[in-house]
């Protein structure tokens, strides 16, 4: 895990986004969804893994009902401190626009693989088991499918 890509896209003299370092939370792994009004409104899903926030941009709201599928485009890892970031990313900066917390909480990792993640989410707005599956299981593929599933 590295934050190099995250840091290379930002000028921390212009943006109030946290520079952050790789670290772990002091309790259960954290989960956050940030509503991001950038060029296009989307929702950033972030899951704490290996000291960073693994991140996906979801063009529509996170599904709260079963059988609703959403595209989730993997983005660069973010520092753990980003979980509490809210504010305005200045015009001309990567991701320019307004970021606000849409949901937050913790999660339990149920299944983890290179092309599939299953998590139990314990948020304020959503709760339940969610699955992320990579569209085409190959190196560099960034498109995933996000959906809510039944616990077995």
Domain range holding 46?
A: 29-149
Residue-by-residue DSSP string for 117-144:
EEEEEEESS-EEEEEEEESS-STT--EE
Query: Is residue 20 a part of any domain in this protein?
Result: no
Query: Is residue 117 a part of any domain in this protein?
Result: yes
How confident is the model over 87-104, as a mean pLDDT?
Answer: 93
CB of 36 within 8 A of CB of 107?
Answer: no
Q: pLDDT (tens digit, 9 = 90+) per residue, 25-76?
A: 778 999 999 999 998 999 999 999 999 999 999 999 999 999 899 999 999 9
What's the pTM value of the predicted model, to 2 decimals? 0.90
CB of 107 within 8 A of CB of 47?
Answer: yes
CB of 95 within 8 A of CB of 24?
Answer: no
The pair of structure tokens assigned to 69 is 């599928």
Query: Is residue 130 a part of any domain in this protein?
Result: yes
Question: Count of domains in the chain?
Answer: 1
Distance of alpha carbon 81 from alpha carbon 103, whole angstroms: 15
The pair of structure tokens assigned to 144 is 């995933």
> In this predicted structure, what is the pLDDT of residue 137?
66
CB of 19 within 8 A of CB of 7?
Answer: yes
Distance of alpha carbon 33 from alpha carbon 100, whole angstroms: 9
Query: Is residue 44 a part of any domain in this protein?
Result: yes
Query: Is residue 50 a part of any domain in this protein?
Result: yes
The pair of structure tokens assigned to 43 is 């929702």
Distance of alpha carbon 34 from alpha carbon 44, whole angstroms: 5
Query: Is residue 53 a part of any domain in this protein?
Result: yes
Query: Is residue 8 a part of any domain in this protein?
Result: no
Query: Is residue 138 a part of any domain in this protein?
Result: yes
């Amino acid at each position: 895990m590295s934050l190099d890509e995250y840091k290379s896209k930002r000028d921390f003299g212009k943006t109030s986004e946290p520079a952050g370092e790789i670290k772990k939370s002091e309790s259960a792994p954290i989960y956050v969804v940030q509503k991001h009004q950038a060029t296009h409104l989307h929702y950033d899903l972030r899951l704490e893994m290996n000291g960073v926030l693994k991140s996906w941009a979801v063009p529509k709201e996170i599904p709260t009902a079963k059988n609703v599928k959403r595209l989730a485009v993997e983005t660069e890892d973010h520092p753990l401190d980003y979980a509490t970031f809210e504010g305005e990313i200045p015009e001309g900066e990567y991701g320019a626009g307004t970021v606000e917390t849409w949901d937050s909480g913790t999660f339990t990792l149920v299944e983890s693989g290179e092309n599939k993640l299953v998590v139990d989410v314990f948020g304020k707005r959503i709760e339940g088991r969610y699955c992320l599956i990579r569209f085409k299981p190959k190196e560099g593929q960034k498109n995933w499918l996000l959906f809510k599933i039944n616990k077995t």
